[in-house]
Amino acid sequence: MPPMPKSEKIWFNGDLVPWDEAQIHVLSHVVHYGSSVFEGIRCYNTAKGPAVFRLKEHTDRLFDSAKIYR
């Protein structure tokens, strides 16, 4: 399988920034302990155009995880 192409932008600290500008400090907690919140959201092409699969459920779960993490 070929590698996934690098995105032009990435969500970082509340903004979409160029991939190469998204940098974190080497002593960041997330680097040493893997602490993070993640939720995978899928979008599919349909006859009516792009459709996000169960967006509300995914965002609810993401926000619930962030509350616990906080």
pLDDT score of 47:
97
Residue with token string 């169960």? 54
The domain spans of the chain are: 7-36, 39-70
Q: What is the pTM of this model?
A: 0.55
Q: Answer yes or no: are the C-beta atoms of 37 and 62 closer than 8 Å.
A: yes
| Residue 26 CB-density burial (10 A; 0-12 exposed, 13-18 middle, 19+ buried) | exposed
Residue 70, C-beta contacts closer than 8 angstroms, at least 6 positions apart? none
> 7-51 pLDDT, tens per residue?
888 888 888 999 889 898 989 888 888 888 889 899 999 999 999
